[in-house]
Amino acid sequence: MNNIFIDVDYAQIYKHGQKIGGDVFLLSRNPDNNQIVTTLSDGLGSGVKANVLASLTAHMAHKLSFSPIDLQHSAKIIMDTLPVCKERKISYSTFTIADIRYKENMENILVNLVEYDNPQSLRFSGSEPVKWERTKTVLNRAAAFKKEEISYSSFPMEYGERLVMFSDGVTQSGLGKSLPLGWRLEGVRKFISEEIAKDNDISSRELSRAIVQKANSLDGLASKDDITCVVVYIRRPRRTLIVTGPPFTKEADAVLGEKIAAFNGRKIVSGGTTAQIVARLFGKKLTVDLKCWSKDVPPSSKMEGIDLVTEGMLTLSKVAIILEKKENLQDLPDDPAKKFVEILLDSDQVHFIVGTKINEAHQDPNIPVEIGIRRTIIGRLCKALEDIYLKETSVEYL
């Protein structure tokens, strides 16, 4: 696995009282071309209508970004396709596209950025703001009452740098309430710089959430518009090891112990039998944590040197469902499955060591069919982590 990771994540709050957002964010990776594309679109208005308009724009922009067409040309195609509102004489949606290209070893990371009518994106090297040149193209659409411009820029990103993109729900937060003119771009830039200074290694997920929550608080916790923020962060990868299932032979237990001891990162042991093997190998005490449980999954346990110890199949199956459905962690009970997912989402590279010994307990016909076998669940976890969250995964059988 690489020693550089492109951490991309976002946070979003809908307009107060709305159950669907007018801001749409898409994130995809094309491993064949070493390409990551992020698209943020803001539909005119709010609710269902805005969501439809933003979705059409975002998906069009996303598809074109993965095509051989030049990104500037793609942006013009999008604008020629987008209608102009007859009443307000402005475009039905805005967009920001970041096309990120890199080499196999994650070196020479290059960002192509296209911005139309969203607030200007911000860059940081550590906590210091970075300025860069943009090329502007003026559009000549007869139906529009104001001058329309598409901004294009291309720049390399190095280790420790961040790119922050957001909708106008961020910059206009507090307008007429806590701030007469709104938070504005300078206010956002200052806040981001201060947040990074507090924690230089703050993740994209944590930083985007902090920005969105601050904007919402400026609106008096009743957001006047959809609030969305996207963060791209170039950093060292955060690694997690997941050990589940006893090795095929007892002689392989020692090999498992060596691999766990040598791993540099967070460690999760999933499965009662597996946990007992690990506790024996390291001479550690295993105690049940009755504070961490729910009706869905058994309680977790505690072991020195291991970040999380859970039951096996039921918990892994629940974690896979949470990841596949992209469930909101804030809505989940404080149980082992939630803690498991939190660690995974805070990780960049996840390595699984899967024991291949058959556990007789899982041959019980009373166990739900959807639990499946361990390999199937691990496959689901890897697919969700890679496809939905752009994590890097690897599996080793023992």
In the prediction, which pLDDT does 2 show? 74
Whole-angstrom CA distances from 300 to 71, 102, 185, 188, 277 are: 49, 40, 45, 40, 16
DSSP state of 213: H
In the prediction, which pLDDT does 393 show? 95
Is the C-alpha dihedral spanning 160, 161, 167, 171 positive or negative? Answer: positive
In the prediction, which pLDDT does 375 show? 86
Provide the whole-model pTM. 0.81
In the prediction, which pLDDT does 142 show? 55
In the prediction, which pLDDT does 368 show? 46
Domains of the chain: 5-235 (3.60.40.10), 239-397 (no CATH)
H helices of 160-263, in order, are 168-171, 184-198, 204-218, 253-262
Using DSSP, state whether 116 is helix, strand or coil: strand
Per-residue confidence in pLDDT tens, the chain, 398 aa: 678 889 999 999 999 998 898 999 999 888 778 899 999 999 877 778 788 888 888 888 888 888 877 777 777 777 777 766 555 555 678 899 999 999 877 778 999 999 988 999 999 999 999 999 999 988 765 555 566 788 999 999 999 999 999 999 999 999 987 788 899 999 999 999 999 999 999 999 999 999 999 999 999 999 999 999 999 999 989 999 999 999 988 889 999 999 999 999 999 999 999 999 999 999 999 999 888 778 889 999 999 999 999 999 999 999 999 999 999 888 899 999 999 999 999 999 999 999 987 665 555 555 444 344 788 999 999 999 998 888 999 999 98
Whose CA is closest to 47, among 225, 172, 171, 175? 225
Label residues 369-386 b or e (16+ Cβ within 10 Å = b).
eebbebeebbebbbebbe
